[in-house]
Structure 1
Amino acid sequence: MTMNENGFYQGKVAFVTGAGSGIGRAAALAFAREGASVTVADVSELGSQETARLIEEQGGRALAVKCDVTRTEDVKAALDKTIDAFGRLDFAFNNAGVEQRNAAIAEFEEDEWERIVNVNLRGVFLCMKYEIPLMLKQGGGAIVNTSSGAGVIGIKGGAAYAASKHGVIGLTKSAALDYAGQNIRINAVAPGYIATPMMDRFTGGTDEGWAQVVSEEPIGRAGRPEEIADAVIWLCSDAASFVVGHALVVDGGQTVQ
């Protein structure tokens, strides 16, 4: 699909973390299809460059930046480059995250706990901390943070991941109240099992692993990254202008059971 010169994000700028693959890549492409210029941020330089290439190949504007969301200097530099390149920041999708190995809490290493929480929760905090002042300067914006179905239920063998993703929802709701009166809407998206490289790692990439995942989805399949991207695009749009501090679960019914 080529970029839409009359899209409802024409002239706007989006910043997407974890944009080198999976949900982040799908969202970056979706923002661009709607006319936005997109900063493609990822810890993988090759991944971000490939996403930017895909956007430009379809006629969009993209800036690829290497960014480790746990590092304040990386986040600030990526946002500075965004302003230098595009002049503004309208939307942010704070999506970068990592999975954990399956392990009961007493068997989980402390340094692995720190890694999960640093990327999945502290990374979202740092991004919002430095995105929001840029949005305030221009009178508003919209932010979506990636939580998970594990942000609304417990996951056996997944305490660190679930804690970090529950934390994203609490962080999102509180930040939303901080800035709702200043025309910045902050929400979260909570994906179920989505067919991404992360899920390949989580399942071991085996048919048996994927069969187990699909068995937990009432809809009978894993989700597509584009289905989460569509939810993000909606949350950032004027169609969601009265949606504030919400965690939108997009999970094929997984957490309804």
Structure 2
Amino acid sequence: MRFDFEGKTALVTGAASGIGRAIALELGASGALVVISDLDAEACRSVVEEIAANGGNACVFAADVSDEDAMREAVEFAQRKGGDLHMAVNNAGIGGPSVPTGEYPAADWRRVIDINLNGVFYGMRWQIPALLRAGGGSIVNMSSILGSVGFAKAAPYVAAKHGLLGLTRTAAMEYAQQGVRVNAVGPAFINTPLLSANLSPETLEALAVMHPMGRIGTPEEVSGLTCFLLSNRASFITGSYHLVDGGYTAP
């Protein structure tokens, strides 16, 4: 499926690698001007070069999503570069240590919540007014299968992803009649550099068999759904949570 995003400007956080990179590449290939945002400016520039090599247009705004001022500045940067902001993907996130809830370090709890939940709010706080100024647009917030189920030793991550869904649905209701759509995507375990760098082949295999399809997903499989939700083909879809999970949550 090909999308037409000619004349549109998109902001993607956590876009230097993995799912965010795949989304940025697909948006760029579909004609959008893509603002690549991540902490790693050098890795962002590599994604910009990939998009340019395929005839697309992109630029870098390095930022920490847990900094509200940085999120405001990212939106203002996108508006300066593209005239308006039309689409946003709040994808940046971290995992945190694997510790039971009763032993979880408070500092690690705050860090995961700051990035995975507060960071989405900070993004939307400035993205929504920009989309309204543009006459409407679409936001996709990257949740997880853990937005709908629990997972041992991951309390802040699970809490953040559940909270993200409430935030998504509330904003969707508030702005539905003003042309702003807000949806969430919930990937299962996806083959990203972060996953492969931190887990052994044996652990990856064990994760794969937890999915009825018998494998983990690819970033491109998440990107395809995300870009659909951003597009006008999803014009009657808002406030929804869409899984890309290989059947993980089906049992």
TM-score (norm 1): 0.95
Q: Is the 8 A contact 2:97 2:108 kept in 1?
A: no
Alignment counterpart, residue 217 of structure 1, candidates 211, 216, 223:
211
Q: Tell me the distance in 2 between the aligned counterparts of 1:252 and 1:241.
A: 25
Question: Would you say 1:59 and 2:55 are equivalent positions?
Answer: yes
Q: Is the 8 A contact 1:18 1:42 kept in 2?
A: yes
Moved more, 131-140 or 20-29: 131-140
1:44 Cα offset (Å): 1.1
Q: Is the 8 A contact 1:98 1:198 kept in 2?
A: no
Which runs of 5 or more structure 2 residues have no equivalent in the other structure?
none
Q: Give the letter for the 2:71 counterpart.
A: V
Question: Kindly, what percent of the aligned residue pairs are identical?
Answer: 38
Q: Which residue of 2 aligns with 1:253?
A: 247
Q: Give the letter for the 2:54 counterpart.
A: Q
Q: Give the letter for the 1:124 counterpart.
A: V
Q: Tell me the distance in 1 between the aligned counterparts of 2:132 and 2:74.
A: 18
Q: Tell me the distance in 2 between the aligned counterparts of 1:221 and 1:112.
A: 30
1:147 Cα offset (Å): 0.4
Q: Give the letter for the 1:150 counterpart.
A: L
Question: Would you say 1:24 and 2:24 are equivalent positions?
Answer: no
Q: Tell me the distance in 1 between the aligned counterparts of 2:151 and 2:72.
A: 33
Alignment of 1:154-233 (within 5 A): 154-201=150-197, 204-233=198-227
Q: Which residue of 1 aligns with 2:137?
A: 141
1:197 Cα offset (Å): 2.0
Alignment counterpart, residue 131 of structure 1, candidates 127, 133, 142:
127
Q: Is the 8 A contact 1:19 1:96 kept in 2?
A: yes
Q: 1:171-206: CA deviations, max 9, x gaps?
A: 0001100100100000000000000122225xx331
1:77 Cα offset (Å): 1.4
1:215 Cα offset (Å): 1.5
Q: Tell me the distance in 1 between the aligned counterparts of 2:184 and 2:194.
A: 19
Q: Is the 8 A contact 2:222 2:244 kept in 1?
A: yes
Q: Tell me the distance in 1 between the aligned counterparts of 2:108 and 2:66.
A: 14
1:64 Cα offset (Å): 0.8
Q: Give the letter for the 2:227 counterpart.
A: I
Q: Give the letter for the 1:250 counterpart.
A: V
TM-score (norm 2): 0.97
Q: Tell me the distance in 2 between the aligned counterparts of 1:173 and 1:192.
A: 20
Tell me, what secondary structure is at the counterpart of 1:66?
Answer: coil
Tell me, what secondary structure is at the counterpart of 1:144?
Answer: strand
Aligned length: 250
Q: Give the letter for the 1:105 counterpart.
A: T
1:58 Cα offset (Å): 1.1
Q: Give the letter for the 1:94 counterpart.
A: N
Tell me, what secondary structure is at the counterpart of 1:119?
Answer: helix
Q: Is the 8 A contact 1:99 1:198 kept in 2?
A: no
1:167 Cα offset (Å): 0.6
Alignment counterpart, residue 82 of structure 2, candidates 72, 86, 97:
86
